[in-house]
Structure 1
Amino acid sequence: MNFYNINNYKEIINFKQALKIGLGKNQGLFFPSFIPKINLKNINQILDMDFINRSSYLISLFIKDEISLKNLTKIIHKAFNFPLKLINIKNNIFCLELFHGPTLSFKDFGVRFMSQILNYFTEQKKIIILTATSGDTGAAVAHAFYNINNIEVIILYPKNKISVLQEKLFCTLGKNIKTIAIEGNFDDCQKLVKQSFEDTYLRNKVILNSANSINISRLIAQICYYFEAFAKIKKNNRNNVIVSIPCGNFGNLTAGLIAKSMGLPIKKFIAATNSNDTVLRYLKNGIWKPKKTITTLSNAMDVNNPNNWPRILELFKINNWNLNRLSSQSISDNLTEKSIIKLYNKYKYITEPHSAIAYHALSSKIKCQEDFGIFLGTAHPAKFQDYIDKILKIRIKLPIVLTNYIKKENLSYNFPNNFTYFKTFLIKNYI
């Protein structure tokens, strides 16, 4: 299968090239030349497979011309070596917990697959991975690529705008992982990454790539857990599934929409956002007008110019879907906190701000008993220990993966929000 640049339809490349380039000309995102279709009978057969073999098969539909199913299965086995759980919260509302990986975030799925497949295709040439993070991506990228030969990783994040535990997970590794705290917000970090890809001098001197959700490999990997969610559901509920997704850069929603395009019978999606509501406003008035990013409790969703939105528009266009079919809701910090408290007091379920937003949006949209609601649990609540402990008046026990890093030294650089300054750093250290 080939992949084309949404901003330049003439730029058509294979998966290996899209994997290594990350971003196309004119900051264009790569998109599959077609979406593989699976009929309902085959969907049910696929859902009977185990997670590893099913995921290998699904991903092979996009890249089977470039890697054998046998080798792909080995990669998936290394990448997806942790569980995901569907937890019943109440009646017909469930949480799909995606945070049981090594950095306690759903992003472990996409990033670990990317690191393994990129390592498989690497040809002994040094690659520099540039990534912006608003919280969880940084840790997932750092741990997935840590100590992989010929790959250097630089992670940019907004200074003082992520939790201490999030920061400790990826700013303490060293070696081939460099982390930079930027004086600004996530959108500023994202802009610096994009400027680097656009810079002719840098592109001619080094091989740049990005592990953000702009990389097509991450997106394809995320399709797999939507199928796994359905595999855990009784067959008589599979036609009534409503999925609520906490949205920041909208990669998670894009993957879900691709799964639906492939034939997975998802009835409805809810794009749940915090006060950074660019998409919600666009759906209401058709005007794309990002505002200044607002800092919220759900910091990984503090994005006002989401990278993956062009892919969603592309999906709706090629499927001839009406955007009115996409539901969106903006949840305030006050409602987020109330949802966390309600989930604990009423259902004894501990969650964190991002997942709580998805829960609140879902609970307000479930209209009848036939609806089967799933909200995505995207981060472990322990990553927000101080906040959760304070509002619930409990003490969350930290998982070992966090206690191992909490006392380590933060090795981050501190940079102004200035591309020339950042470019000078890249030239000095990598050219």
Structure 2
Amino acid sequence: MELYNLKKNEQRVTFAQAVKLGLGDNQGLFFPSHIPTLGNIDELLAKDFVSRSVDILDAFLGDELGSDTVESMVRSAFNFPLAVEKVKDQTYALELTHGPTLAFKDFGARFLAQCLNHLCKDEKATILTATSGDTGAAVAHAFYGLDNINVAVLYPKGKISVLQEKLFCTLGKNIHTYAVTGRFDDCQQLVKDAFDDLELKEAISLNSANSINIARLLAQICYYFEAVAKVPASERKNLVVSVPSGNFGDLTAGMLAKALGLPIKRFIAATNLNDTVPRYLETGEWAPTPTVATRSNAMDVSAPNNWPRIEELLKTQFWDKSLITGVKVDEEQTVAGLKALYEEDYLCEPHGAIAAFALDNELKADETGIFLCTAHPSKFQESVEEILNIHVMLPKALADVADKEILSLDIDANFAQLRGHLMAI
């Protein structure tokens, strides 16, 4: 598999190189030079999730890694369930909340861990990632205990839920967590600064597990196929998928799935008050504003890193921007969306509620809608209980860490300070 750097097209790399580098020169994202053609889509949709995922990822990676290796990695990574639930007429929920850290990022993080463990073998590596909530837990658990890989996770202090924090900041061993005084965008900038420091990068074999890493994006393609597979064939003609969007890796994966032939008519990019993309789609002006803290903190991103990949997909697939409808959902609407779902006997949380609210307001009479549930309601227990006036039971994954000590170090949004900690790992 060949990929090219979106900021420096002449930089061409293999999948293995792209996974190890994370980012290309000039902080450029890697993008596939060729998107493969799959066989009969209906036959593919008839398969079980893991077998279908093997076929999808083998189409990208089989020539480079070998089909047996791809199958082994997929079966090891995707060893937990997912579900599609009908919420009401015309509307389905894709539940990506049944993995070890109860969030959609388990899919990408676990596949990336399998890739790096295979590619690095006996080499030492350091994973550096920023999280606005769920990425940190998924990455930490995916790499926890691997002897040759250290993980450093940056997150904005006080801006993720306590249970989110405890899920990955209580592990220790090869997992190092840093509470950064600032916003998620500050954490992302620190990651970029680290990758620009060639001396540091080489000294600790730096890599990234954010959605900028191509391995994560390829893994996320697979659950879009599962969503469509679980919708009755009679309802697949005009499918609309609503994606709660922060850093826009998830929407990128969905669009890659469409490029592979998955019958999705259009997408809704549902954001919270951090609405850079909806404004851009309406005005054509890319104008990020300071990040605003919201109930849906994993989406509190004002300068989404993955947007250049979406632009590249629009260009290379000759798609019009109308394929994506940008919708801003404010805090009152988020609450209304969560309550509306509960009235349908469906318990959700703020991120999924944003996607559902946007879908409910944009879906046409002849369309079928799917919205993504990206985290378990218990990860936002306090917010969900306050809004719905109910008690949310903690699943075992959270109950086990609720009373554990947080092991994070507090740091400023200062690269020199972070650099010192990374060199000392």
Aligned Cα root-mean-square deviation (Å): 1.0
Deviations 1:105-146 (A, max 9, x none): 000000000001211111311100000000000000000000
Deviation string 1:182-207 (CA, Å, 9 cap, x unpaired) is 00000000000000000122123221
Separation of aligned partners in 1, 2:368 and 2:284: 30
Is 2:395 the counterpart of 1:399? yes
Find 1:173's aligned residue among 159, 171, 182: 171
Q: What's the offset of the Cα at 1:226?
A: 0.6
Tell me the residue number matched to 1:356. 353
Query: Residue 426 in 1 paired to residue 383 in 2?
Result: no
The one of 277, 282, 285 equivalent to 2:283 is 285
Residue 324 of structure 1 aligns with which residue? 322
Q: How many corresponding residue pairs?
A: 425
Distance 1:367 1:324 in 2: 15
Please tell me the residue identity of whatever aligns with 1:97.
E
SS at match of 2:364: coil
1:331-373 CA-to-partner distances (Å, cap 9, x unmatched) read 00111011111211x21111100000000000001110x3111
State the 1:324 CA deviation. 2.6
Distance of 1:305 and 1:195 partners within structure 2: 16
Displacement of 1:43 in angstroms is: 0.5
Q: Distance in 1 between matches of 2:208 and 2:42?
A: 35
Aligned pairs for 1:15-414 within 5 A? 15-38=15-38, 42-344=40-342, 346-368=343-365, 370-414=366-410
Deviating above 3 A after TM superposition, structure 1's stretches of 4 or more consecutive aligned residues are none
- Deviation digits for residues 133-184 of structure 1, max 9, x if unmatched? 0000000000000001210000000000000000000000000000000000
> Identity, % of aligned pairs?
53
Deviation at 1:36, TM superposition (A): 1.2
List gaps (5 residues or longer) in structure 1. Answer: none
> What displacement does 1:73 show?
1.4
TM-score by length of 2: 0.98
Contact 1:165/1:406 (8 A) holds in 2: yes
What is the TM-score normalised by the length of structure 1?
Answer: 0.97
Determine if contact 2:242/2:372 at 8 Å carries over to the other structure. yes
| Distance in 1 separating the partners of 2:169 and 2:162 | 10
Matches of 1:307 and 1:23, distance apart in 2: 11
Give, in whole Å, the separation in 2 of the partners of 1:313 and 1:50.
32
Q: Which amino acid aligns with 2:367?
A: D
Conserved in 1, the CA contact under 8 Å of 2:130 and 2:136? yes
Give secondary structure in 1 for the equivalent of 2:63.
coil
Deviation at 1:74, TM superposition (A): 1.7
- Are 1:141 and 1:211, in contact at CA under 8 Å, matched by a contact in 2? yes
Output the CA distance in 2 between the equivalents of 1:426 and 1:221: 28
| C-alpha separation in 2, matches of 1:123 and 1:379 | 32
* 1:6 corresponds to 2:6: yes
Paired letter, 1:348:
D
Asked if the contact 2:38/2:59 (under 8 Å) is kept, the reply is no
Task: Measure the CA separation in 1 of the matches of 2:272 and 2:387.
Answer: 19
1:188 aligned counterpart, secondary structure? helix
The runs of 5 or more residues in structure 2 that have no matched partner are none
Q: CA deviation at 1:284?
A: 1.3
Q: What is the alpha-carbon distance in structure 2 between the residues aligned to residue 65 and residue 121 of structure 1?
A: 15
Q: CA deviation at 1:421?
A: 1.1
Structure 1, 382-391 or 244-253: larger mean CA deviation: 382-391
